[in-house]
């Protein structure tokens, strides 16, 4: 028999409930409001009372209203049907919600209706199941028994969508029966498994998994050594991200965090991208929503949307489901990792998630830590990023979850708690700088402050040389502000120009230009060779104005080069010109 | 279950907050409080067992412990009809202009969020004929944009000018903490231009109760939403959102909430966002565009209000020394409308738009560096001289807020300024663009 309770207090999105029977921490319950049921989660239990955060507006709830507990933790539905979906933080499909709401009235269809929940996986859709396991075979959690084709995962372009033994099953099972090839819905039984004691378990294509618990059906975790190709030059070359690694992008507003994560979502060489718009603008989600279906994924030749899932809990949506949304995103990612795929999770922005925790903590009247954030902020952030990683699965293949989180520090000051807690646990730091964005130097990743522990696509020694010139050039630039151009030696002045050149032609990349927005690694290598030549050459120019003119001309040619299609005749011609220009100006 | 019992005993009074014991009260419902101080509406903001906490719209001053409290069983509503146009109201919806009260079609305020799946991509430019907006940071239908300014800047004038020149169907002005004469000035400016007939004003003046200030954005946006659902393009002008945030702070402190940053409540971001996110272009109906003045105390953009706002809105305009600053000012949606694709039916610009925009700002940034060097007494190189000439021209012909020219003319002007100051190889523009647009003589 399920536990029920009565509301005692209502304060914003927090309710206190007096209950009979047993409840669990993080258990889900529903507050009954007339014909509606409002979903809520237990966040604290004290004696016979528990505090619950409601995932909806609490307007109209009254003292003594009933709460029904479910006995389950907040869980995501995992199985075929998630790709190309746009979910809210609780995995409700938004397009379906709109259709459902429109049944109330035309105007109602525009809004998110309170208490309306729909299953994350379509129940009526049939999938073509292809069994791969055999009856009598011994299997355990996470091992595949067959596959279905879903979008690009059709066993041709990409491997099929694997149907796996539910992650929650412990121990080894024998397959007693397995459905023949055919069309099934996600809730139909497709196999019967027998455990060591002879008990039968029926399995379906869909399984549920509590979002706040990591999925651990793998044999070992691997070191993230391979570079994840984002095709953003400054990232891949100077501040690389690893497959299965973590990185963060802190930056003040307007510095280009969102454009950068959208670019990464588009062009990164991964199998699946899960984009969690957490407490951010709805308009940006709409952009992704409308543009992605139109963009072709170079890897599969199909629409980019087919490899994308959007978890969208925008800033005006209830704050409690914002807190849940990043967990939902990473749970979905782990599911696909179990299929042997490389998944990229982009959480924009983790600060909003942290603020959701702060709001919650404030309502619970917990003793506040720094800037009123709860004391457990750091451990929560660490635990979230720890869900990233590259793993070896039971069948020997590998899969990975890479997590990139944007951080929106108050006032753009990186000394605040969320940025600091994040920096402790990530492998890459792409700090965006206001000075760069003001000067329209995009992407505004600060080339001096940022860092990464992962491997670059360019030889490390070469990158270090370029970095040294950047640093020296910046010092000279600072110095020149004090002593002026005339007080600077020609050698220093040249270093300054070299650093500016590197910045202008390589670090800066125009996300809105068709050819410049994405630079695959192969092209980066060709480009970097020319840049390196320009940087390391000693020039036989003896006057500063002439030196400036030379670099401006070189820069102009290089920018034209960036505009050309890779390996086209024009591209090759400009490459030759560039090299010639550098060699002609060099000391012999 | 309509609760029309009348309660006569208030247990606690503090600021504009009252607590009493009552039964069968819904969270968020409205009550009427009748006391020596007069009659005011109030809203339930906390339920704790039998104790009900009310926020009294007119403030608790003069409310006695024996005041009559009657719960109305429903949430705050605002009447809606076409008769709202041309009228002015307080934050609680009471006429401010001496006209008749409007009671038709009451609709709840603070409704749920729009389903992101029912939004459409912003794609229509709002032309203002101000080059610093049209050319460098185009305003887009459904955009939410704050105007960051220090107290004393002519932000309300700018707001009024945008209101007059933008082609919206309905204009809603939400005034918070306005000086009375500012309210009158808005009215007369709009009246003179004939724009008053398509305007609704909800104004809280500095002398009015704090709680009414908090209602202004909700009431304004609820009415805007109604017009938008009827297919109208609505422009909502809010001034000043910092007053709104301060009102929230006042209430939160009275409620003994734990403050997060400089006394503001921890949910400041969510509170601001739920208002700004009302900006929308409905798939199959009208739209809401929001421009909101946010004054920066101490001219400090890292103050919690402008800071949180910046993360919510789609860019920001900085108004400084009476000019829209090119640095920091940003319209995030401009990329949607400045492509200059002649096949786009909503296109209002030319293909050189982005090129001119980027090149001019980059050069202006260099000009600023040169100014710094000059002020420190360094010799100016030839390049510096060019930049100095450019900067002066740019400020005079583009940045001045009184410049009122069409976008295409502004583009031509941009090329003209560049050609007057530089050689074409120096401006960092791809050759295929300079070949086509660089002035011939």
Write out pLDDT tens, residues B307-320.
999 889 998 999 99
Q: Searching chain B, which residue's CA lies closest to the CA of residue A371?
A: B260
A362:B277 CB<8 A: no
Residue-wise pLDDT for A51-73, tens only, equals: 999 999 999 999 999 999 999 99
Q: Is residue B1 part of a domain?
A: no
Please determine, for residue B36, whether its predicted confidence score (pLDDT) is greater than 50.
Answer: yes
Distances from the Cα of A48 to the Cαs of A6, A45, A581, in angstroms? 11, 8, 80
Q: Tokens 């925009």 identify what position?
A: B357
B116:A86 CB<8 A: yes
B277:A282 CB<8 A: yes
B27:A60 CB<8 A: yes
Q: Is residue B244 part of a domain?
A: yes
Q: What is the mean pLDDT of residues A142-148?
A: 96
Residues with Cβ < 8 Å from A461, sequence gap 6 or more?
Answer: none
Q: Searching chain A, which residue's CA lies closest to the CA of residue B374?
A: A484
Q: Are residues B70 and B109 in the same domain?
A: no
- The mean pLDDT value of chain B amounts to 91
A411:B302 CB<8 A: yes
ipTM higher than threshold 0.90: no
**pLDDT for residue A270:** 95
Q: What is the mean pLDDT of residues B364-388?
A: 91
* Cβ-Cβ contacts under 8 Å, B121 against chain A: 286-287, 290-291
* Cβ-Cβ contacts under 8 Å, B25 against chain A: 62-63
More confident residue, B259 or B10: B10
The H or E element spanning position B200 is strand B199-205
B118:A98 CB<8 A: yes
* Cβ-Cβ contacts under 8 Å, B26 against chain A: 59-62
Give the CA angle between residues A369, A353, A99 to the nearest 5°: 150
A545:B381 CB<8 A: yes
Q: What is the mean pLDDT of residues A512-521?
A: 87
Domain boundary assignment for chain A: 4-73, 78-110, 127-205, 220-452, 460-585
Confidence of residue A523 (pLDDT cuts 50, 70, 90): very high
User: B374 vs chain A: nearest CA distance in angstroms?
Assistant: 9
Report the residue from A97, A252, A358 with minimal CB separation from B115: A97
The total of structural domains in chain B comes to 3
Task: Determine the CATH number of domain A127-205.
Answer: 2.40.50.100
Confidence of residue B328 (pLDDT cuts 50, 70, 90): confident
Q: What is the mean pLDDT of residues B272-288?
A: 93
Structural domain range at position B378: 353-437
Confidence of residue B3 (pLDDT cuts 50, 70, 90): low
Please determine, for residue A297, whether its predicted confidence score (pLDDT) is greater than 90.
Answer: no
User: A98 vs chain B: nearest CA distance in angstroms?
Assistant: 7
Q: Searching chain A, which residue's CA lies closest to the CA of residue B428?
A: A556
A545:B382 CB<8 A: yes
Residues with Cβ < 8 Å from A192, sequence gap 6 or more?
Answer: A175, A176, A177, A200, A201, A202, A203
B425:A109 CB<8 A: no
Q: Are residues B201 and B253 in the same domain?
A: yes
Helix (H, G, I), strand (E, B) or coil at A267: helix
Domain finish residue from B75, B100, B126: B75
B430:A98 CB<8 A: no
* Cβ-Cβ contacts under 8 Å, A283 against chain B: 119, 122, 142-143, 279, 314, 333
A315:B257 CB<8 A: no
Please determine, for residue A254, whether its predicted confidence score (pLDDT) is greater than 90.
Answer: no
* Cβ-Cβ contacts under 8 Å, B105 against chain A: none
Report the residue from A10, A111, A365 with minimal CB separation from B115: A111
Please determine, for residue B230, whether its predicted confidence score (pLDDT) is greater than 50.
Answer: yes
DSSP secondary structure, A190-252, as one string: EEEEE-TTS-EEEEES-EEEETTS----SSEEE---SEE----HIIIIIS-EETT-EEEEE--
Q: Are residues B190 and B267 in the same domain?
A: yes
User: A39 vs chain B: nearest CA distance in angstroms?
Assistant: 16
User: A37 vs chain B: nearest CA distance in angstroms?
Assistant: 16
Residue-wise pLDDT for B120-164, tens only, equals: 988 898 888 889 999 999 999 999 999 999 999 999 989 888 888
Q: Which residues pair with A76 in a beta bridge?
A: A209
Q: Are residues B41 and B144 in the same domain?
A: no
Report the residue from A57, A289, A440 with minimal CB separation from B112: A57
Q: Searching chain B, which residue's CA lies closest to the CA of residue A348?
A: B311
* Cβ-Cβ contacts under 8 Å, A58 against chain B: 27-28
DSSP B258: P
Burial A216-227 (b: 16+ CB within 10 A, else e): ebbeeebebebb
Q: Is residue B344 part of a domain?
A: no
Please determine, for residue A277, whether its predicted confidence score (pLDDT) is greater than 70.
Answer: yes
Alpha-carbon distance of B413 to A461, in angstroms, equals 48
Q: What is the mean pLDDT of residues B232-261?
A: 91
Q: What is the mean pLDDT of residues B210-230?
A: 94
A560:B121 CB<8 A: no
**pLDDT for residue A349:** 86
Please determine, for residue A483, whether its predicted confidence score (pLDDT) is greater than 60.
Answer: yes
Q: Are residues B300 and B431 in the same domain?
A: no
Q: Are residues B111 and B254 in the same domain?
A: yes
Using a 10 angstrom Cβ sphere, with 0-12 exposed, 13-18 middle and 19 or more buried, the burial of residue A93 is: buried
Please determine, for residue B242, whether its predicted confidence score (pLDDT) is greater than 80.
Answer: yes
Mark out the alpha helices in A269-385 (DSSP H runs): 282-291, 319-337, 350-363, 377-385
Sign of CA dihedral A55, A61, A63, A66: negative
Q: Are residues B53 and B111 in the same domain?
A: no
Which percentage of chain A shows pLDDT scores above 70?
Answer: 100
Q: Is residue B339 part of a domain?
A: no
B365:A362 CB<8 A: no
pTM, to two decimals: 0.89
Q: Is residue B343 part of a domain?
A: no
Q: Searching chain B, which residue's CA lies closest to the CA of residue A486?
A: B379
Residue-wise pLDDT for A402-448, tens only, equals: 999 999 898 788 999 999 999 999 999 999 998 898 788 899 999 99
Confidence of residue A1 (pLDDT cuts 50, 70, 90): low
CB B104 within 8 A of CB B81: yes
A62:B112 CB<8 A: no
Q: Are residues B50 and B83 in the same domain?
A: no
Token representation of residue A542 = 């003896």
B117:A553 CB<8 A: no
Alpha-carbon distance of B213 to B177, in angstroms, equals 7
**pLDDT for residue B418:** 96
Q: Are residues B362 and B315 in the same domain?
A: no
User: A254 vs chain B: nearest CA distance in angstroms?
Assistant: 7
Alpha-carbon distance of A105 to A87, in angstroms, equals 22
A412:B46 CB<8 A: no
Give the CA angle between residues A57, A15, A351 to the nearest 5°: 65
Please determine, for residue B208, whether its predicted confidence score (pLDDT) is greater than 70.
Answer: yes
Q: Are residues B186 and B326 in the same domain?
A: yes
* Cβ-Cβ contacts under 8 Å, A563 against chain B: 430
Q: Are residues B300 and B424 in the same domain?
A: no
At the second CATH level, the architecture of A4-73 is Beta Barrel (2.40)
Please determine, for residue A569, whether its predicted confidence score (pLDDT) is greater than 70.
Answer: yes
Report the residue from B121, B265, B425 with minimal CB separation from A286: B121
More confident residue, B179 or A262: B179
**pLDDT for residue B140:** 93
Q: Searching chain B, which residue's CA lies closest to the CA of residue A561?
A: B430
Which of A212-226, B374-388, B421-435: highest mean pLDDT? A212-226
Please determine, for residue A550, whether its predicted confidence score (pLDDT) is greater than 70.
Answer: yes
A282:B314 CB<8 A: no
Identify the CATH assignment for A460-585 out of 1.10.1140.10, 3.40.50.300, 3.30.300.30, 1.10.645.10. 1.10.1140.10
Indicate which CATH number applies to the domain containing B64: 2.40.10.170
Q: Searching chain B, which residue's CA lies closest to the CA of residue A557?
A: B430
Q: Are residues B249 and B362 in the same domain?
A: no
Please determine, for residue B1, whether its predicted confidence score (pLDDT) is greater than 50.
Answer: no
* Cβ-Cβ contacts under 8 Å, A348 against chain B: none
* Cβ-Cβ contacts under 8 Å, A358 against chain B: 260, 266
Q: Searching chain B, which residue's CA lies closest to the CA of residue A413?
A: B302
Domain finish residue from B334, B367, B388: B334
Confidence of residue A75 (pLDDT cuts 50, 70, 90): very high
Q: Searching chain B, which residue's CA lies closest to the CA of residue A108?
A: B114
**pLDDT for residue A444:** 94
Confidence of residue A364 (pLDDT cuts 50, 70, 90): confident
Please determine, for residue A469, whether its predicted confidence score (pLDDT) is greater than 60.
Answer: yes
Which percentage of chain A shows pLDDT scores above 90?
Answer: 79
Using a 10 angstrom Cβ sphere, with 0-12 exposed, 13-18 middle and 19 or more buried, the burial of residue B295 is: buried
User: B235 vs chain A: nearest CA distance in angstroms?
Assistant: 17
Q: Is residue B246 part of a domain?
A: yes
Which percentage of chain B shows pLDDT scores above 70?
Answer: 99
Q: Which residues pair with A309 in a beta bridge?
A: A274
Determine which of B17, B25, B115 to mutate to test the interface with A (most A C-beta atoms within 10 Å). Answer: B115
Report the residue from A10, A113, A559 with minimal CB separation from B27: A10
Indicate which CATH number applies to the domain containing B263: 3.40.50.12240
Task: Determine the CATH number of domain A220-452.
Answer: 3.40.50.300
């Amino acid at each position: 028999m399920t536990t029920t309770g009565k509301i005692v207090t209502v304060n914003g999105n927090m309710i206190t409930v007096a209950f009979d029977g047993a409840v669990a921490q993080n258990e889900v319950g529903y507050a009954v409001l007339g014909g509606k049921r409002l979903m809520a989660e237990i966040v604290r239990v004290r004696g016979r009372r528990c505090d619950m955060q409601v995932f909806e507006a609490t307007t109209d709830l009254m003292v003594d209203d009933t709460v029904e507990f479910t006995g389950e933790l907040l869980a995501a539905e995992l199985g075929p049907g998630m790709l190309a979906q746009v979910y809210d933080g609780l995995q409700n499909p938004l397009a379906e919600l709109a259709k459902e709401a429109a049944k109330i009235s035309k105007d109602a269809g525009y809004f998110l209706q309170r208490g309306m929940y729909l299953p994350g996986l379509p129940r009526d859709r049939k999938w073509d199941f292809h069994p791969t396991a055999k009856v009598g075979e011994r299997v355990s959690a996470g091992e595949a028994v067959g596959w279905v084709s879903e979008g690009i995962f059709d066993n041709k372009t990409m491997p099929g969508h694997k149907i796996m033994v539910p992650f929650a099953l412990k121990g080894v099972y024998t397959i007693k029966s397995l459905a023949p090839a055919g069309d099934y819905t996600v809730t139909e039984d497709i196999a019967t498994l027998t455990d060591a004691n002879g008990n039968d378990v029926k399995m379906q294509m869909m399984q549920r998994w509590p979002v706040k618990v990591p999925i651990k059906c793998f044999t070992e975790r691997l070191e993230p050594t391979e570079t994840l190709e984002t095709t953003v030059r400054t990232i891949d070359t100077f501040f690389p991200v690893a497959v299965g690694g973590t990185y963060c992008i802190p930056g003040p507003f307007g510095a280009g965090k969102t454009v950068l994560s959208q670019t990464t979502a588009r062009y990164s060489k991964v199998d699946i991208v899960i984009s969690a718009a957490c407490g951010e603008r709805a308009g940006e989600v709409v952009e992704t929503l409308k543009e992605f279906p139109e963009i072709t994924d170079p890897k599969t030749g199909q629409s980019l949307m087919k490899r994308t899932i959007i978890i969208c809990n925008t800033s005006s949506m209830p704050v409690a489901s914002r807190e849940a949304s990043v967990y939902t995103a990473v749970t979905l990612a782990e599911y696909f990792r179990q299929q042997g795929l490389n998944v990229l999770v982009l959480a924009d922005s983790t600060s909003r998630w942290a603020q959701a925790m702060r709001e919650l903590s404030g309502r619970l009247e917990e003793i506040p830590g720094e800037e009123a954030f709860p004391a457990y902020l750091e451990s929560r952030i660490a635990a979230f990023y720890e869900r990233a990683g590259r793993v070896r699965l039971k069948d020997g293949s590998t899969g990975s979850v890479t997590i990139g989180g944007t951080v929106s520090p108050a006032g753009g000051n990186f000394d605040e708690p969320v940025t600091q807690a994040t920096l402790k646990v990530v492998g890459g730091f792409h700090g965006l700088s206001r000075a760069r964005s003001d000067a329209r130097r995009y992407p505004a990743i600060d080339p001096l402050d940022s860092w990464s522990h992962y491997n670059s696509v360019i030889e490390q020694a070469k990158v270090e040389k370029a970095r040294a010139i950047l640093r020296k050039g910046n010092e000279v630039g600072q110095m020149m502000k004090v002593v002026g151009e005339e007080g600077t030696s020609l050698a220093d002045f040249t270093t300054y120009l070299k650093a500016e050149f590197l910045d202008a032609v390589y670090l800066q990349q125009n996300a809105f230009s068709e050819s410049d927005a994405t630079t695959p690694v192969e092209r980066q290598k060709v480009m970097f060779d020319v840049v390196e030549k320009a940087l390391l050459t000693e020039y036989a120019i003896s006057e500063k104005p002439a030196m400036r003119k030379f670099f401006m001309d070189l820069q102009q040619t290089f920018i034209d080069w960036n505009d050309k299609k890779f390996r086209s005749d024009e591209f090759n011609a400009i490459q030759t010109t560039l090299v010639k220009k550098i060699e002609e100006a060099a000391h012999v | 279950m309509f609760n029309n019992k009348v309660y006569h005993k208030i247990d606690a009074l503090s600021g504009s907050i009252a607590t009493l014991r009552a039964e069968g009260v819904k969270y968020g419902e409205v009550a009427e409080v009748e006391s020596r101080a007069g009659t005011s509406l109030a809203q339930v903001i906390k339920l704790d067992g039998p104790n009900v906490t009310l926020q009294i719209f007119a403030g608790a001053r003069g409310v006695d412990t024996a005041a009559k409290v009657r719960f109305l069983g429903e949430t705050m509503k605002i009447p809606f009809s076409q008769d709202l146009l041309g009228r002015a109201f307080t934050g609680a919806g009471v006429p401010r202009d001496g006209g008749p009260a409007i009671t038709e079609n009451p609709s709840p305020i603070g409704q749920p969020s729009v389903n992101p799946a029912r939004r459409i991509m912003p794609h229509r430019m709002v032309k203002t004929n101000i080059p610093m907006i049209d050319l460098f940071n185009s305003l887009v239908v459904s955009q939410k944009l704050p105007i960051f300014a220090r107290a004393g800047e002519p932000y309300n004038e700018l707001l009024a000018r945008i209101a007059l020149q933008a082609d919206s169907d309905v204009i809603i002005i939400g005034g918070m903490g306005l000086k009375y004469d500012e309210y009158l000035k808005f009215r007369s400016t709009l009246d003179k231009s004939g724009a008053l007939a398509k305007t609704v004003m909800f104004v809280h003046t500095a002398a009015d109760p704090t709680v009414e200030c908090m209602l202004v954005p909700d009431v304004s946006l609820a009415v805007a939403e109604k017009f938008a659902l009827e297919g109208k393009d609505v422009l909502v002008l809010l001034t000043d959102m910092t007053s709104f945030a301060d009102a929230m702070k006042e209430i939160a402190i009275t409620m003994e909430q734990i403050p997060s940053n400089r006394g503001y409540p921890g949910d400041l971001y969510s509170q601001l966002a739920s208002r700004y996110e009302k900006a929308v272009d409905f798939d199959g109906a009208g739209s809401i565009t929001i421009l909101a003045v946010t004054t920066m105390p101490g001219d400090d953009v890292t103050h919690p209000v402008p800071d949180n706002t910046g993360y919510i809105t789609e860019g920001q305009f900085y108004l400084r020394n009476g000019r829209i600053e090119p640095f920091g000012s940003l319209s995030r949606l401009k990329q949607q409308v400045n492509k200059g694709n002649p096949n786009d039916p909503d296109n209002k610009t030319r293909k050189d738009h982005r090129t001119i925009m980027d090149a001019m700002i980059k050069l202006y940034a260099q000009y600023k560096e040169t100014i710094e060097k000059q002020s420190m007494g360094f010799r100016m190189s030839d390049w510096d001289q060019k930049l100095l000439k450019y900067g002066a021209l740019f400020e005079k012909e583009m940045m001045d807020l009184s410049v009122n020219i069409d976008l295409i003319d502004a583009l031509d002007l941009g090329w003209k300024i560049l050609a007057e100051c530089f050689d074409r190889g120096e401006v960092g523009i791809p050759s295929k663009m300079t070949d086509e647009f660089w002035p011939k003589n």
